[in-house]
Amino acid sequence: MELQPVYIQILALILFALGIAVTLSRRNVFFVLMGIELALNAVNLSLVGFAKTLPAMTSITGQIIPLFTIGVAAAEACVGLAVVILIFRSQDSVDIDTYSNMKG
């Protein structure tokens, strides 16, 4: 039985929903970052899945773009972790709810 593209999309949707749910529900900043990564990769998976439905010559473009996205996401995760470390130094906490200087 051949892999239907719709299953790939369903998987991507489940992964994306999990990512968002983790991002919103966890208070630990590392879990939030991981949730964001998961949602991002779910989108990559969705892109590859759609690319697979196209003819071979154009399908290759859709499979290459996620590679770039992964590269960019790595860089972004790098910066994000650095920021988290700096915030941790000043706040002495990984709890995202305490990360605020705003009044009100």
- Kindly list the residues in this chain that would bind other proteins in the complex (CB under 8 A): 20, 23-25, 27, 32, 96-97, 99-100, 102, 104
Q: Tell me the C-alpha distance between 49 and 36, whole Å.
A: 20
Q: Given the complex with other proteins, which of 2 and 97 has the nearer CB atom?
A: 97
Least Å distance, CB 100 to other proteins, is: 4
Least Å distance, CB 102 to other proteins, is: 5
Q: Given the complex with other proteins, which of 58 and 90 has the nearer CB atom?
A: 90
Is residue 28 classed as helix, strand or coil in its secondary structure? Answer: strand
Least Å distance, CB 1 to other proteins, is: 32
Give the 3-state secondary structure percentages of the chain, helix then strand then coil, rounded to 5: 80, 0, 15
Please report which helix (H) or strand (E) contains residue 17, including its range.
helix 5-25
* Structure tokens given for 40: 């991002």
Q: Given the complex with other proteins, which of 47 and 52 has the nearer CB atom?
A: 47
